[in-house]
Chain A
Amino acid sequence: MELMAYKDKDSIIHKLDARTKLILSSTFILLAFIFNHPLFLFILFLFSICLCYIAKVHKEVFVKTFALFPLILLSFFLWSFFYKPSYISSTQTTDIVISLGPLNTTTKALMYGLAMPFRIVVVLISSILFLMTTKLSDFIYALKKLGLPYTWAFTFGLSTRLVSTIGNEFTTIKQAQASRGLETEKGGLVRRIKAHIPIVVPLTMKGLELSDQLGMSMSLKGFNPNSKRTFYRELKMESIDYLVIAICFASLVISIILRINGIGVIT
């Protein structure tokens, strides 16, 4: 199971502290919601693409977003033809730009229709960019540094590893039972649920066995969630991290000011 989206490349973005990257991605997402004018969102979109190029993951990001292209196209359609916020209808109801049978769209709705896909894409790209440039262990450590209790972070990390272990077990068990003629896709709902018993039982046994052994191993390695511990991994903020965070913060402040003054919004 390909849960880890991390792609190991040599780029400035990869070298940033995990916390910085988290802030960077979050900034993009926030900006995408502060503005709703298609032009501004388009510029934001271009910025996010640039970031992907800098991080050398543009190809991989493109592949992942391309898969969602139909969804994006659909959102354009839905927003343009069905979005009618109250303040639009009270003003320019006669400004119909495109008409498709019973559906019609006004300039404003069309602008929304253009803006939303870009918003969705910016949110997607920022998130994928973060996952592709941040190692999972760094992410967990960053969460811990930002205040998450160690046991939570540790459990989160262990669960992600276990997900793939249990996932593999599930596949093997399913195949083993299929080799004895078990068919899980046939018949009505009840029949299909019953057909999963020969898979769930061995899986549960395995899960219990694994958790017992893991618990034993953890104790044998002196693990005690309640007592003090030291941390080997360290995340150090370099000057570039502070610079990037400063830029993010500044962008947010500027954007909020612009928004308050009505710039970047559809009127």
Chain B
Amino acid sequence: MDSIIKTRNLWFAYEEGNWILKGINIEIYQGEVVSIIGPNGCGKTTLVKHFNGLLKPLKGKVFVNGVDTSETSVAELSRVIGYVFQNPNHQIFSTTVLEEAIFGPKNFGIENAEKAAILSLKEVGLVNKIKTSPFFLSHGEKERLSIASILSFDPKVLILDEPTTGQDATTTKRILKIVEKMKRKGKTIIIITHDMEFVAECSDRVIVMNKGKVEKIASPHKIFSDEKLLRKIQLSPPPIVTIAKELGMVPLPLSVDEFVKRFEKYGVNGIQG
């Protein structure tokens, strides 16, 4: 697999002496869904801002598609790395939903920007609100608009910064579907989140960060089985994982459906397997 993003001994600080990132070495491969978790202040957002060049390393290097980000502009990198910011209100400014979605493609000089925007709005289920003012959308609709306005210029990588925070269950489900759809299209997806259930359901790999360092990178199964790690960073896995652990289920189920299926299949005795 090709690595689309690679960091080599990345160090970064906003002010002198206060290192936020301390020697990060990670590789993210094309087509995978990676979740980044850790306490606020551990450097998740700082790390991810290096991927589209918003921040440049103080020490070490960051490569996107083999190119050193310190020699590339934010505009060039953003074309490939689409970053959906956490708070949709930080991006919304246009008079209609359509204009909001066209903004990106127009800036990048994409042909048929309007067509691309309408397509992306279809993907997120907002095509019926094309003429609405984005300020009158609900919180969940705003989040979907944010995602659409990045998808509209078809980046190879999609970064979602806490997409489900403060959202209802329906919106979370929709976002999960969008992630699955984008994955099928071959996009690489990086998600910063605190929602362990979301992590369990859609991640291929999980990067656990703590105090500026990477604690562990592994599949959700391995992360949620690592008692020592969970205790160290004081993190609880999703409730069904905890229940499954107590019941001795191996491997751990990562969704309610999986749990019930295994439980049903093996019945009262033989839960293992």
Chain B contacts for A198, CB-based, 8 A? 91, 93, 103
Chain A contacts for B82, CB-based, 8 A? 179
Residue of B nearest to A197 (CB): B93
Q: Complex: how many Å from CA A266 to CA B182?
A: 79
Complex partner residue of B90 from A182, A183, A202, CB under 8 angstroms? A202
Closest chain-B Cβ to A209's Cβ sits at a distance in Å of: 8
The tally of residues in B whose CB lies under 8 Å from a CB in A reads 26
Chain A contacts for B74, CB-based, 8 A? 178-179
Is A9 in the interface zone, CB < 8 Å from B?
A: no
Q: Complex: how many Å from CA A173 to CA B90?
A: 5
Residue of B nearest to A199 (CB): B93
B85 touches A179 (CB 8 A): yes
Residue of A nearest to B78 (CB): A179
Is A217 in the interface zone, CB < 8 Å from B?
A: no
B49 touches A182 (CB 8 A): no
A180 touches B91 (CB 8 A): yes
Is B89 in the interface zone, CB < 8 Å from A?
A: yes
Is A175 in the interface zone, CB < 8 Å from B?
A: yes
The tally of residues in A whose CB lies under 8 Å from a CB in B reads 19
Chain B contacts for A197, CB-based, 8 A? 93
- Main secondary structure, interface of A, reads helix
**Given that A173-B90, A178-B75, A202-B91 are known contacts, is A183 also in contact with B107, CB under 8 Å in the complex?**
yes
B93 touches A181 (CB 8 A): no
Q: Complex: how many Å from CA A205 to CA B90?
A: 9
Which B residues from 83 to 106 make CB contacts under 8 A with A?
Answer: 83, 85, 87, 89-93, 103-104, 106
**Given that A2-B15, A182-B107 are known contacts, is A176 also in contact with B153, CB under 8 Å in the complex?**
no
Residue of B nearest to A178 (CB): B74
Closest chain-A Cβ to B228's Cβ sits at a distance in Å of: 36
Residue of A nearest to B92 (CB): A202
**Given that A180-B104, A181-B104 are known contacts, is A202 also in contact with B54, CB under 8 Å in the complex?**
no
Chain A contacts for B106, CB-based, 8 A? 181
A175 touches B89 (CB 8 A): no
A177 touches B15 (CB 8 A): no
Chain A contacts for B92, CB-based, 8 A? 202
Q: Complex: how many Å from CA A177 to CA B75?
A: 10
Is A148 in the interface zone, CB < 8 Å from B?
A: no
Chain B contacts for A177, CB-based, 8 A? 91
Chain A contacts for B15, CB-based, 8 A? 2
**Given that A175-B49, A175-B54, A198-B103 are known contacts, is A180 also in contact with B149, CB under 8 Å in the complex?**
yes
Q: Complex: how many Å from CA A180 to CA B149?
A: 8
Closest chain-B Cβ to A26's Cβ sits at a distance in Å of: 31
A179 touches B93 (CB 8 A): no
Is B266 in the interface zone, CB < 8 Å from A?
A: no
Which B residues from 32 to 77 make CB contacts under 8 A with A?
Answer: 49, 52, 54, 74-75
Closest chain-A Cβ to B69's Cβ sits at a distance in Å of: 14
Closest chain-B Cβ to A169's Cβ sits at a distance in Å of: 8
Is B150 in the interface zone, CB < 8 Å from A?
A: yes
Closest chain-A Cβ to B159's Cβ sits at a distance in Å of: 9
Residue of A nearest to B161 (CB): A176
Chain B contacts for A235, CB-based, 8 A? none
Is A172 in the interface zone, CB < 8 Å from B?
A: yes
Closest chain-A Cβ to B19's Cβ sits at a distance in Å of: 17
Residue in B78, B106, B149 with the greatest tally of chain A CB atoms within 10 Å: B78
B85 touches A176 (CB 8 A): yes
B90 touches A180 (CB 8 A): no
Q: Which 6 A-B pairs have the closest CB atoms?
A: A181-B107, A201-B93, A180-B104, A176-B85, A179-B83, A176-B90
Ordered by A's residue number, 11 sampled pairs between the chains whose C-beta atoms are within 8 Å are A172-B87, A173-B91, A175-B49, A175-B54, A175-B85, A176-B85, A177-B91, A179-B82, A179-B150, A202-B90, A205-B135
What is A's interface to B at a CB cutoff of 8 Å? 2, 169, 172-173, 175-183, 197-198, 201-202, 205-206
